[in-house]
Structure 1
Amino acid sequence: MSSAKPDETPVRRIDRILTFMSLGVIVLSVGCFFALLIADAAGLEAEDFGRGAWPVVATVPMIGLPVGFVLIFALLIMSIIRKGRATDQRS
């Protein structure tokens, strides 16, 4: 038995991939952002942020959040196009 209703279009594999990629990138970025806030509140000095993994942790939110937004936007556009084509085929 299929879980999809007759009126619904099936979810494609690329839609799932884009969904989980965008969710993963955004969660990672927000996690790095909170790590920076916690480290700053804990009293980590400014010169300590230039060593170790801190430059990567500081860069991830600057790159990850826009990439996550673009992935969500691409998913939205693909979904609108897919549903539009499904509607055209029914009529």
Structure 2
Amino acid sequence: MTDNNPQNISRFERVLAFMLLGLVILSVGTFLAIIIGTWQGMGSSDFASGIWPVVVMVPYIGLPLAFILLITLMITSVVRRSRDNKRTLTQR
């Protein structure tokens, strides 16, 4: 049987999901900026000045942090589903 009640997703899970999405998009965008900059002829000395050091470091920090957020989101989702299943079993 299917349950017609929608799943209650907590605010914490929504925040985690949007943070994860934002970090991945930001990291991929900066990675593409580095690729395009290299394609346009920028050398390693050019990436050492201006805003480029920050752009270069974003994927190094953002992608592992996004992975940690993904693991956290998966764990919170499993815990929520487990609690919902226990609640429905006790109501029967």
TM-score higher than 0.5: yes
TM-score between the two structures when normalised by the length of structure 2: 0.89
Matches within 5 A, 1:29-48: 29-48=27-46
Q: CA RMSD in A?
A: 1.3
Partner SS state of residue 46, structure 1: coil
TM-score for both structures, normalised by structure 1: 0.90
1:48-59 → structure 2 map (5 Å cutoff): 48-59=46-57
Equivalents in 2 of 1:49, 1:13: separation in Å? Answer: 39
Aligned length: 87
- Percent of paired sites with the same residue: 41
Gaps of 5+ in 1: none
Task: Please list every run of 5 or more consecutive structure 2 residues that lacks an aligned counterpart in the other structure.
Answer: none
Kindly indicate whether the alpha-carbon contact (under 8 Å) linking 1:9 and 1:86 is maintained by their aligned counterparts in 2: no
Contact persistence 1:25–1:64 (CA under 8 A): yes
Separation in 2, partners of 1:46, 1:61? 17
1:9 shift after superposition: 2.8
The 5-angstrom pairing of residues 1-91 of structure 1 reads 5-6=4-5, 8-91=6-89
Deviating above 4 A after TM superposition, structure 1's stretches of 4 or more consecutive aligned residues are none
Q: Is the 8 A contact 1:22 1:71 kept in 2?
A: yes
User: 1:46: how far off?
Assistant: 1.8
